[in-house]
Structures are given as structure tokens and as C-alpha cells.
Amino acid sequence: MIKVIFLDLGKVIIDFDPAIPLAQLTHYSDLPMPKIKELISKTDVLSNFDMGMFSEKDFYTAMVRDLKLDISKEDFNNLWNSLFLPVPLLSETLLVDLTHYYPVFLLSNTNEIHFKFIWQHYPIVRHIENHLLSYELKKMKPNQSIYQIAISRSGVLPKEIFFADDRIENVEGAKTAGINATLFESESQLKIAMRQAGIRID
């Protein structure tokens, strides 16, 4: 029986398009887009930021240095948050229903800039009081250590946890830890998977 629900944040609750900030970077750098893409793909700055290894200031400084940007920190933060799309992927009704019957946790690879923005601009996430965030834990999915933390925080057995994520490697990582995990595709598909797992949905 499922007793606790874990949900990923990006591409499960909140939609995003990384091409939006990527296109804007060319307005602040003399580097061509192919070079910007190459530098971003090769750098470990992004993953280090998601792991909480960099402060916001350190991240900004590193990105300005590596991409040769001429941009203020405030404008950079606005650019970096521009990837988030206005309409959530999950309905507020579904999240509220779930929190009536189950403890619901966020389990997300994210960073301080993005999470602060989401918390301020997407009231839907405020229905979820429990947050396991990579930049705070200094661990990222699909590393097994983050699932072990999730299991410990849940207070239940792995098989009593339901988890939804949009990335197959994160779903497989959760399954390896013994968690009942499903690949998120849409709200309707998620409801089917939840009902199959015995989760109550009004």
C-alpha cells in the first residue's frame, strides 16, 4: 500500500523550455550560439550549482566568465528563470487532493535561483510542504544516495513510496532503491499510474 508520494518538480509539476534562456544569452555575449552550446555542454558549472557547490554569486561569476557575458546579476537571474512556462503540467486540484490523503514530497534536481523563482511565482507548489532538493542535499538523482535520504525522510518502506519523474534514469534509479516509480508523461497518465498503485484520487 502506498503511504507517501514523491514528485519531481520540472517537467512534472512545472513546465520549462531551456531553449528560451539559451537564445537570450546571445544578446549578452559576442560568442556565437554553437560556441555557447558547446561551452555549456562541457562545463560542470551547472551540475555543481544544482549540487549546491556554488553560491548564486559564484554561479553568476562563473557563467559570466565562461560565456563572456556582459550582464548584471539581476538581469542574469531573470534570464536564467525565463525557461519556466506559465501553465503548470499538473492541476492544483490534483495536488490538493493528494495532500489530503498522503504526505507529498518534492524530490528535485534544482538550484537556488530556480527554486526561489518557482516558489514565488507558482503558488501550486506551496501545497507541498516537504522538499528534498539537490542543491540543499548536495546530492542528485539518479545517485542512489538521494533515494536513500528520501526513504529515510518518508518514514516508510521503499515499496510504500510512489514517485513520478520525467527522466527514465531517475525512475530506474528509484526502482533500484525499491521505490514504486513511474515515468511522467501527462496528468491523465499519472492518474492512471496512481490508481494502478492503489492511490486514492477523488
Residue 49 domain flag: yes
pLDDT mean over 148-169: 98
| DSSP letter assigned to residue 10 | B
pLDDT of residue 58: 95
Residue 46 domain flag: yes
As a whole number of Å, the CA-based R_g of the chain is: 18
pLDDT mean over 45-50: 95
pLDDT mean over 13-26: 96
Predicted TM-score (pTM) of the model is 0.95
Do 160 and 173 fall into the same domain? yes
Residue 202 domain flag: no
Q: Is residue 202 over pLDDT 90?
A: no
* Nine cell digits for residue 194: 496512481
Do 125 and 183 fall into the same domain? yes
**DSSP secondary structure string, 19-86?**
HHHHHHHTTSBSS-HHHHHHHHHH-SHHHHHHTT-S-HHHHHHHHHHHHTB---HHHHHHHHTTTB-S
Of how many residues is the chain composed?
202
Q: Is residue 42 over pLDDT 90?
A: no
Non-local CB neighbours of 4 within 8 Å, separated by 6+ positions: 102, 103, 104, 105, 154, 155, 156, 160, 161, 162
Which CATH number does the domain housing residue 120 bear?
A: 3.40.50.1000
**What phi, psi does 81 have (nearest 5°)?**
-90, -5
Percent of the chain past pLDDT 90, that is, above it, reads 98
Do 36 and 111 fall into the same domain? no
pLDDT of residue 56: 95
List pLDDT tens digits, range 103-141.
Answer: 999 999 999 999 999 999 999 999 999 999 999 999 999
Do 29 and 10 fall into the same domain? no
* Nine cell digits for residue 89: 503540467
Structural domain harbouring 99: 4-15+86-196
Q: Tell me how many domains the chain contains.
A: 2
